[in-house]
Amino acid sequence: MTFTPVIPSGGYAGWTFLKRTMGQQVKAFEAQAALKTDAAYFREKIGQIDTAEQLVNDPRLLRVALGAFGLGGDIQNKFFIRKVLEEGTLRTDALANKLANKQYQKLANAFGFANAAAPRTKLSDFADRILTPYKTQQFAIAVGTQNDEMRLALNAERELPELAKSQASSQSKWYTVLGNPPLRAIFERAFGLPASFGAIDIDKQAETLQARTERMFGSGDLSQFSDGTKVEGLIRQFLVRSEISANQMGLSGGQVALTLLQQSSFSMGRF
């Protein structure tokens, strides 16, 4: 039986319901036979993998490996993924280091085919290191089939604090956001930026997001999002704007402006 998340409404109300029932819903999701079978297969086989070639030639293992990093859409790009894994991340010119989406760096680091004498697949806890984020990502995908904004919110809740705590420079963190489509979508919609925003100079994009963040949260430094209340504030603004955008055909311009003003004031009062 396929798991169907329960999300009774959109917007922030739907988000608070999802958060309140997360424990029960995740438990039901992980009870699915297909997920258990995938996990059992991964645990049994991954320790036998010595090379990137072996990994990409096993579709079941590769599906879990890519899924753990939100890269499931690349399942057919075997040559590309193999190159990412085989080059690792130690060389500055390695493919993973050149790509805007830093999930490829995480993938290459996690498996370590080129970064160490032996791949990390040999570690006793390696299966858990991959299966834990895989299950989290798959649950978010299931949520996305009901409401894609909730999927983006779950992604931001998970990835933004991790990025905030990284040792990268403030500017580098903003470029990471711009290279991560789900995180980028959160910031762009939370700030009401137009679809054409992505067409302007990349440095100007980073500068704009930093300025808008400072205006809303008092600082333009992404490190502040190690604070869960700041992450929740951003998610709330994103969901409020998403809901208004979905319903704006039935609202006058004045009503939209008033609603945004009220919601923004409420959000700012929480910090």
Please report, for the chain, the start and end positions of each structural domain, with discontinuous segments joined by +. Answer: 32-132, 170-268
More confident residue, 185 or 100: 185
pLDDT by residue (tens digit) across 223-246?
A: 999 999 999 999 999 999 998 877
pLDDT > 70? residue 60: yes
Burial of 261 (C-beta count, 10 Å sphere; 0-12/13-18/19+): exposed
pLDDT at 244: 86
pLDDT at 117: 81
What is d(CA 39, CA 134) in angstroms, rounded to the nearest whole number? 9
Which percentage of the chain shows pLDDT scores above 90? 82
pLDDT at 21: 97
Token couple for 77 = 């790009």
Residues shown for the chain = 271
Shortest CA distance to 220 belongs to which of 164, 153, 155? 164
Which percentage of the chain shows pLDDT scores above 70? 91
Among 42-46, 199-203, 226-230, 258-262, whose mean pLDDT is lowest? 258-262
Please report which residue ranges of 46-168 form alpha helices under DSSP H.
52-56, 59-67, 78-87, 95-98, 103-111, 126-146, 148-164
pLDDT by residue (tens digit) across 108-162?
A: 999 999 988 889 999 999 999 999 999 999 999 999 999 999 999 999 999 999 9
pLDDT > 80? residue 249: no
Three-class SS of 20-66? HCHHHHHHHHHCCHHHHHHHHHHHHHHHHCCCHHHHHCCHHHHHHHH
pLDDT at 3: 84
Domain at 32-132: CATH architecture: Orthogonal Bundle (1.10)
At residue 71 the predicted structure's pLDDT band, cuts being 50, 70 and 90, is: very high
pLDDT by residue (tens digit) across 13-34?
A: 999 999 999 999 999 999 999 9
Burial of 134 (C-beta count, 10 Å sphere; 0-12/13-18/19+): buried
Q: Around Cβ 24, how many Cβ atoms within 10 Å?
A: 10
Report field, pTM of the whole predicted structure over 0.85: no
Q: What rounded mean pLDDT belongs to the chain? A: 90
pLDDT at 237: 96
